[in-house]
Amino acid sequence: MEKEYDGEAQCDEPLRAIFLPFLSTSHIIPLVDMARLFAMYGVDVTIITTSHNATIFQKSIDLDSSRGRSIRTHVIKFPAEKVGLPVGVEAFNVDTPRESHSKIYMALFILQHEIEQLFEDLKADFIVTDMFYPWSVDAAAKLGIPRLMFHGASYLARSAAHSIELYSPHLKVESDSEKFVLPELPDALEMTRLQLPDWLRSPNPYTELMKAIKESEKRSYGSLFNSFYELESEYHEHYKRVMGTKSWGLGPVSLWANRDASDMAARGLAKEEEGEEGWLKWLNSKPEGSVLYVSFGSMNKFPYSQLVEIANALEGSGHNFIWVVRKNNDADDQEGSGFLEEFEKRVKESDKGFLIWGWAPQLLILENKAIGGLVSHCGWNTVVESVNAGLPTVTWPLFAEHFFNEKLVVDVLRIGVPVGAKEWRQWNEFGSEVVKREDIGNAIALMMDEAGEGAEMRRRAKILSDAAKKAIQVGGSSHNNIIELIQELKSLKLSKSQR
């Protein structure tokens, strides 16, 4: 007779999990943090990726192994030659040439069989795969194991997209800039057609992919989010209700998996040795809450015209700032880099600003007491990391689901001031909108205001930061979620072995 689940299912063998991140830095980072959490709670974890992508996180895995956790990377060879890509181009990142995108997808298609075989050979008890691998739900079904789907987004963003797919409110307004309310959501959130991702505005091949992802989610064991209940509880409940699926918020994963400075420094592409003499020394010389952290994530690049507006706004704001700047290879780059180098020299002399070129150790910076707020594109990981640090944000959504995240930050949580971005664009395009220095400056002034709404936002952000810290402690919402989920997965394994 099958043994009933008694809440304390025991297996002799540890649970074996395989994590499969997508080939893009900002999907890899949170899913790897999540994988590390499972290892922290006794699960035997293997992360499958290609060699170039492994460099983004291998240091963290080595640190965890040295702590005695059962976690490793299984590197598979990216079929660069077969798809005609130069060695090293293995991911959708800011510098990935547009013509390479379809080749990377082709490479993923080629790798699918090898990965499916690995699920079997490594005897996974469950798999956690990025949303962009809808095929993995069938692979898991063949093996009779659960597939959990990782969402790189917020519950609010997924709920908003679902609302638009279902009710098409954007087709009931007269113009691209007329506001409409997103139907059936816990709050009356207003947007315009121009702020919607193109695939939601009108069908394109990406719409089909998103449909496949949704279908695969419905057939999965459940979904995992880098979110915590107190951050968007109503949207968490709403999402589970409308989707009819199980889902667990396991965030903030950055806080949970990276408790030591060594973890924070190892994360992503940061170079540890730069810290002491550079940004850290500079930040430590600044008064508490006085510095703006200005960053637009790992995928964005701005045209020269926009960089000039940002630079002028920052200089004109009178506040200290750290600006993470990225050079790009487009036509106006020459002119742009000349301007930026001059700007860098000037703000160094005035000691008002610090430019970080390329990649910043964001977690370490955000937790520094000198930081008083962000100017950010509302990438979901950055939203969670800024909430965790108890900081308000000037919101400047650009692409992906950023405009939905802005709604959460500004309208629901009320810890953000919008810069007034009007138009969604592709992540690898400049778009036509240039946000003016006055608008950037006004939003910064409101957020950094020591009294009034600025102070209120900081107060609310601090409450959320405390909630984030509680969520991952024993008895906290995310903590309960991971313990319950692991218990559930153990029990499934046990009942499978008894069949």
Instruction: Report d(CA 460, CA 413) in Å as an integer.
Output: 8
Complex with ligand UDP: residue 301 or 493, whichever CB lies closer = 301
CB of 92 to ligand UDP, least distance (A): 10
The verdict on 60 binding ligand UDP (CB under 6 A) reads no
Look at residues 246, 369, 422 and name the one whose alpha carbon lies nearest to residue 236. Answer: 246
Instruction: Report d(CA 240, CA 434) in Å as an integer.
Output: 38
Residues 342 to 361: which contact ligand UDP by CB under 6 A?
359-360
Residues 302 to 331: which contact ligand UDP by CB under 6 A?
324
351: left (phi over 0), alpha (psi -120 to 50) or beta: left
Complex with ligand UDP: residue 49 or 298, whichever CB lies closer = 298
Residues 186 to 205: which contact ligand UDP by CB under 6 A?
none
CB of 319 to ligand UDP, least distance (A): 20
Residues 148 to 167: which contact ligand UDP by CB under 6 A?
none
Q: Which listed residue (33, 130, 170, 377) is catalytic?
A: 130
Residues 241 to 280: which contact ligand UDP by CB under 6 A?
268
Residues 8 to 27: which contact ligand UDP by CB under 6 A?
26
Region near ligand UDP per CB under 6 A, out of 124-132, 180-188, 295-303, 305-313: 295-303
Figure out which of the listed residues 100, 136, 298, 395 binds ligand UDP, where binding follows CB under 6 A: 298
**Terminal C-alpha separation, the chain:** 9
Interface mask toward ligand UDP for 369-408; x: CB under 6 A: ----------xxxx--x-----------------------
Figure out which of the listed residues 146, 251, 252, 297 binds ligand UDP, where binding follows CB under 6 A: 297
CB of 362 to ligand UDP, least distance (A): 3
Complex with ligand UDP: residue 386 or 491, whichever CB lies closer = 386
CB of 211 to ligand UDP, least distance (A): 22
Instruction: Report d(CA 136, CA 494) in Å as an integer.
Output: 22
Count of residues that bind ligand UDP according to CB under 6 A: 17
CB of 70 to ligand UDP, least distance (A): 25
CB of 91 to ligand UDP, least distance (A): 12
Question: Is 466 in the active site?
Answer: no
Region near ligand UDP per CB under 6 A, out of 77-85, 143-151, 291-299, 409-417: 291-299
CB of 130 to ligand UDP, least distance (A): 13
Region near ligand UDP per CB under 6 A, out of 181-189, 214-222, 296-304, 461-469: 296-304
Complex with ligand UDP: residue 221 or 321, whichever CB lies closer = 321
Complex with ligand UDP: residue 380 or 396, whichever CB lies closer = 380
Complex with ligand UDP: residue 169 or 361, whichever CB lies closer = 361
Three-state SS for the chain is CCCCCCCCCCCCCCCEEEEECCCCHHHHHHHHHHHHHHHHCCCEEEEEEEHHHHCCCHHHHHHHHHCCCCEEEEEECCCHHHHCCCCCCCCCCCCCCHHHHHHHHHHHHHHHHHHHHHHHHCCCCEEEEECCCCCHHHHHHHHCCCEEEEECCCHHHHHHHHHHHHHCHHHCCCCCCCEEECCCCCCCCEEEHHHCCHHHHCCCHHHHHHHHHHHHHHCCCEEEECCCCCCCHHHHHHHHHHHCCCEEECCCHHHHHCCCHHHHHHCCCCCCHHHHHCHHHHHHCCCCCCEEEEECCCCCCCCHHHHHHHHHHHHHHCCEEEEEECCCCCCCHHHHHHHHHHHHHHHHHHCCEEEEECCCCHHHHHCCCCEEEEEECCCHHHHHHHHHCCCCEEECCCCCCHHHHHHHHHHHCCCEEECCCCCCCCCCCCCCCCCCHHHHHHHHHHHHCCCHHHHHHHHHHHHHHHHHHHHCCCCCHHHHHHHHHHHHHHHHHHHHHCC
The values of phi and psi at residue 209, to 5°, are -60, -45
Figure out which of the listed residues 362, 393, 477, 491 binds ligand UDP, where binding follows CB under 6 A: 362
CB of 263 to ligand UDP, least distance (A): 12
Position with the least CB separation from ligand UDP: 379
Question: Is 27 in the active site?
Answer: yes
Look at residues 396, 210, 297, 227 and name the one whose alpha carbon lies nearest to residue 26. Answer: 297
Complex with ligand UDP: residue 268 or 336, whichever CB lies closer = 268
CB of 297 to ligand UDP, least distance (A): 3
Complex with ligand UDP: residue 263 or 385, whichever CB lies closer = 385
Complex with ligand UDP: residue 80 or 89, whichever CB lies closer = 89
113: left (phi over 0), alpha (psi -120 to 50) or beta: alpha
Where along the sequence are the contacts to ligand UDP (CB under 6 A)?
26, 29, 268, 295, 297-299, 324, 359-360, 362-363, 379-382, 385
Q: Which residues are catalytic?
A: 27, 130
